[in-house]
A and B are shown apart, each in its own frame.
Chain A
Amino acid sequence: MSSSQQPISINPTYLKNQFARRFVRALNNLKKRKGSAHDNQMYRRSGRVKIAAYTAMASVVGSRRAWSRAVLSKIKNRPRNKELLRSNRKRAEHRIMSNLHHRHHAKVSIKRRNPNHIRDEVYFNPFKYSGQESKLRKLVPGAGSMDSWCLVDETADYIKCLAAQVDVMQTLVDLYTAT
């Protein structure tokens, strides 16, 4: 695939830095609302840390990707998480605005590559007998209804972001452990 057909993806270093900033901010907010350290509270907190991590990554990516849109809307629809989202929203909105232009281009390029891509999906499915595709759809947020081309594209981006997320989280664990 030539580079002109690749949708714009975020520079990995920028991605990690932005994620780290948002995530650390969210962690500090969690820390501020310090309750007593009961075991079940600890368990709930680890859940909140996890949600904070996914939220931070999705809001770095913004509306550019179907998977990040799916994550953000899922979090938005859970009232308990609204607080988390609020701290990220301003920047996310900024990002959405600045990405509208890019997104438009991405859509156009997909159409140009394959003008009948939705109709083609019915004819073309390289993975059709593998049974793996439906498993993949369950793992990638928002992948339920997209065609195979988009699925692979979104999956590739999702993997890159997840790997970056894990990397930064590991770095944070190391840093917190060292201090």
Chain B
Amino acid sequence: MSSRRSRTRQSSTTSRISDDQINDLVSKLQQLLPEIRNSRSDKVSASKVLQETCNYIRSLHREVDDLSERLSELLENTDSTQASIIRSLLSQ
């Protein structure tokens, strides 16, 4: 929504959403980001939070890629049964 139209309209109207709500929104995301979770929320800009969010999602995607590769290799060479895997998972 970074189109020119939205910017020009924004300048001509008053926002109905308070600063508090904006801060809530941003700090909600911030809590989920390991890199900046512990920073004070007033020290981190909305733009920084979004940037870190993108980085974090990318790193999670990369981890899924790597783990998929590892799993496909392991799948090829293992005989473990579904039951034992699930059992040990659920007992954790």
A171 & B92 in contact (Cβ 8 Å cutoff): yes
Q: Whose C-beta in chain B lies nearest to the C-beta of A31?
A: B75
Q: Say yes or no for A140: interface residue by CB 8 A criterion.
A: yes
Sorting the interface of chain A by its residue count into under 10, 10 to 19, 20 to 34 or 35 or more gives 35 or more
User: For chain B, what secondary structure do more than half of its interface residues adopt (helix, strand, loop), or is it mixed?
Assistant: helix
Q: How many pairs of residues, A versus B, come closer than 8 Å at their CB atoms?
A: 178
Given A42-B73, A123-B16, A176-B71, A162 contacting B50 (CB threshold 8 A) = no
29 inter-chain pairs at a CB distance below 8 angstroms, sorted by A residue, are A1-B21, A17-B90, A27-B75, A46-B71, A46-B73, A47-B68, A50-B65, A123-B13, A125-B10, A126-B46, A128-B7, A133-B1, A134-B2, A155-B29, A156-B28, A159-B32, A159-B33, A159-B53, A163-B32, A165-B60, A166-B60, A169-B63, A171-B89, A173-B74, A176-B71, A176-B74, A176-B80, A177-B74, A179-B80
B contact set with A: CB distance below 8 Å: 1-2, 5-7, 9-10, 13-17, 21-22, 24-26, 28-29, 32-33, 46-47, 50-51, 53-54, 56-58, 60-61, 63-65, 67-76, 78, 80, 82, 84-86, 88-90, 92
